[in-house]
Structures are given as structure tokens and as C-alpha cells.
Structure 1
Amino acid sequence: MRINKTAHLLAAAVLGVALAGVAGPAVADDDPENGVELSVTIEPNTTPGQVSMTVADNGGVSLQEDGSNAAARQFVGTLPTVTVTDSRRPEEIPAGDFWAVVGQAGEFTATGGSAPPIGPQYLGWRPRLLSDSTSGAVEAGEPVSSVISDGTGAPAVGLQGQELLVSTANSADEIGTWEVNADLLLRTPADVAAGEYRSTLTLSLFNQS
């Protein structure tokens, strides 16, 4: 598929607001001749909606060894929750429109040593939709395995441009807020060099219409 429009990753912040020393309510005059009639005309909201993405606050993911065997060393963790919000109105969604969150892992490079890097083809994931999608308009991406298969039958291609979350229908049903995370599985050769390795997993939200 050809993606021709990209939405940017947005940072989220929460601001707490408190009221202190609030005065008591003023006493209204009971004389109707002193009253003020109020009216307001609210026009339809013309601000266009959008598709946006946020990632839950996190300090990174530390993968821990679990499930290693003679065939591979395995290290696991959980991706922080990713939220996609589609605030468009039905009439704003073009025919054939869909969006997708795509993950791309970088190389795991050793810190303070000369060990060779571990390529992104050794990292897999199992996406998990956390929101209810009874309409089927939004689905989690397909699981993928390291090139050293995890035995589940998932494609052994690694985390190289794989879908985490995708809207699957040209429908107003995709409007709303959707949350997803994923189990991460790094499977390396059994003789991988010891050391501390670091990588960056980039998540991108694409919109196609």
C-alpha cells in the first residue's frame, strides 16, 4: 500500500487546576424587573477532527530473559499503551480512508563494548487490542516473530515496519479512542555476546485516503 499522508506523534500533558478561597454566591434580587434575560446561539462545530496518537508515559522498556533454550536466548517485555484518537465526523472521512500505526525497531547496539549489534530482525511482537471493537473497524496488527522462530507460527520476519494497530473499514465506526500494547520478544542466537544493548522502537501513525 502507498501511504501519502503522515500524522505526527504528539506529546500529552495533564494540568491540574484547583480553586481556593472561593467567595460565597451573591444573593439574587427577587424583583423580576431587575433581572437580565440571557440568550446564546451556538453554531455547528466547524473545527475539523483529526487522527492523533499518544504513547503512555514511560521510562523505556527493559527486556528480561525468559524462555531461553538451546536454540535461542529470549528476552521479553511489554510495550507501553499506545492510544489513537479519531475525532473526525463521519462526513469528514473520505471514501477508502484508513489509518495504521507502524513499528520499526532499530539495531540493538552494545554500550561500552565491542560486541556486534543485534539487528531488528531478531525482535518480534504480539499486538493486543485493549479497547472494545465489536464492529471490527479497528484491529490489532498481526504478531511477528524474530527470524529465530518462537514456535507460534508467526511470520519470522522481525520488527521491521510492522502494523501495531490498523483501521480496517471505510466506516464511521473507526471514530473514537483506541488503545493497544504488545508483548515484545527478542530472540537472539544462543551464543550472543554478553553486554548491555540499547535500541529505539519508532512508532508512526499513517493515514491513507
Structure 2
Amino acid sequence: MKINRTTQIFAASVLGLALAGAGLAGPALADDDPGNGIDVSVNIEPIRTPGQLSMTVADNNGVALTENGSDAAARQFTGTLPTVTVTDTRLPEEIPAGEFWAVVGQSSQFTATGDSAKTIGPEYLGWKPRLLSDSSTGAVSAGEPVSSVISDGTGAPTVGLEGQELLASIANSADEIGTSQVNADLALRTPVDVAAGEYHSTLTLSLFNQS
């Protein structure tokens, strides 16, 4: 009889577990309502090419100087330099503090066609730069006039066109972002007894960036 009671108790315990298991709740189902979705977005900016400082010269066929303003002191030949444009597309943070720039002109010796022995030195060529436009903050200036070593009577330094400024920034380059245009009146003043002939020279313009 004792064995039978133990068996009955065990059976009841097993049944109780089975009944308890039948009463457990199942796992919750996922909510598939699209109205509960989260939009994920990103705005990818284009990669910016760093800005630069550059110089261009307007299309031209050269400058033919013609006689104009000759006097007892000199024969004078004048013309106009093609428009020179300096453009700075850099951002302020791309420009080192204290940096400035300048466009400098240097004339070579004039040499007569077919007779290299006949020359006119660059010291006889002068110019008067003229600022045409400036979209920067106004911190750009045309260079100072210079005259041939044979004075033109204007009081300009008589140094000739040997490494003279055509255009220059006059403050930190960060203030000159934009575009500036300049040209110049050219004047070749030679001795009155200059040898006749067709002379040619090269006027080189260089943009220097310095700090």
C-alpha cells in the first residue's frame, strides 16, 4: 500500500506540471505596420576642388607700338598692354596668414629684325598700369608708373621696365579673394638718333605668391 501511494503522488505531480505548461502565453508577434518605420537619410556634399590663385592674359596678337609724342629729347612709341586678369578662388582657410601676391613685368631687349647688332635696352620701355575692375574687398592696387630712362616729364621713376609691378595685393591675400583686371599704357622712349628698323621684344608677366 505504501508503494501505491508514492506512485499516485508522482503521477499527480506530473499532471500538475502538464496543466501548468498548458497555461503559458506564447511569444509576441512583430508589428509589421510600415507607419512605424524610421527614415534614415544622409546628405553627401560634393568633394570640393581646392581653390587657386591664377593669372590670364587676354587673347592678343602682340602689341604694335606706334610713334606718338616724340619730342626733341626722344622718339616715343606707345601702345596698350592686353588686359591681365588675376583670379583667386581659394577659401580664407586655404590661404596662409600674411600671404600676398604681385604680377611683375620684365621686358627683354629689343632686337632689330635681320640685324641682331641693332638693339634697344628694356630700360627704354616704361608703363602706366591701370586697374580696370576689382571684385575683391578693394585691397588690390595697380602698380606705380615707371618711365624710360629718358624721362617722359611726368615725374615717374626713370627705371625702365625691368621687374616692375603691374598689379599687387596690398594686404593679406585672404582679403583679395575674387577677380581683378588691369592693363597698362606702354611707352618706348628712345634716343632721337635710334637706328631705323623693325624691333621685337618679349614682355614677360609673372605672378608671384609670397608670405
Give the TM interval when normalised to the shorter protein. Answer: 0.7 to 0.9
Matches within 5 A, 1:47-196: 47-113=49-115, 116-132=118-134, 135-196=137-198
- The superposition leaves residues 119-140 of structure 1 with CA deviations (integer Å, 9 ceiling, x where unpaired) of 0000000000001468441000
User: Quick one: distance in 2 between partners of 1:41 and 1:134?
Assistant: 31
How big is the shift at 1:40? Answer: 7.4
Supply the RMSD in Å over aligned alpha carbons.
1.7
Matched, 1:41 2:43: yes
TM score, norm. by length of structure 2:
0.77
CA contact (8 A) 2:136 2:175 kept: no
TM score, norm. by length of structure 1:
0.77
CA contact (8 A) 2:136 2:178 kept: no
The structure that has the greater radius of gyration is 2
User: Quick one: distance in 2 between partners of 1:192 and 1:204?
Assistant: 30
- The superposition leaves residues 172-199 of structure 1 with CA deviations (integer Å, 9 ceiling, x where unpaired) of 3300011000000000001100110000
| Structure 2 counterpart of 1:206, one-letter code | F
Which residue in 1 is equivalent to 2:28?
Answer: none
SS in 1 for 2:197: coil
SS in 2 for 1:124: strand
User: Quick one: distance in 2 between partners of 1:124 and 1:171?
Assistant: 28
Tell me which moved more, 167-176 or 52-61: 167-176
- The superposition leaves residues 76-109 of structure 1 with CA deviations (integer Å, 9 ceiling, x where unpaired) of 0000000000001011111110011000000000
CA contact (8 A) 1:133 1:139 kept: no
* Structure with more of its chain in helix, by fraction: 2
User: Quick one: distance in 2 between partners of 1:104 and 1:127?
Assistant: 14
User: Quick one: distance in 1 between partners of 2:102 and 2:47?
Assistant: 27
Identity %: 81
Which residue in 1 is equivalent to 2:19?
Answer: none
Tell me which moved more, 132-141 or 45-54: 132-141
Which residue in 1 is equivalent to 2:33?
Answer: none
| Structure 2 counterpart of 1:199, one-letter code | S
- The superposition leaves residues 129-187 of structure 1 with CA deviations (integer Å, 9 ceiling, x where unpaired) of 00146844100001100000001111000000000000111153300011000000000
Pairs aligned (count)? 171
User: Quick one: distance in 1 between partners of 2:75 and 2:170?
Assistant: 35
| Structure 2 counterpart of 1:144, one-letter code | V
SS in 2 for 1:104: strand
Which residue in 1 is equivalent to 2:27?
Answer: none
- CA separation of 1:134/1:84 partners in 2, compared to 1, >3 Å: closer, same or farther? closer
CA contact (8 A) 1:141 1:164 kept: yes
Specify every segment of 5 or more residues in structure 2 that has no aligned partner in the other structure, as ranges: 1-40
- CA separation of 1:52/1:134 partners in 2, compared to 1, >3 Å: closer, same or farther? closer
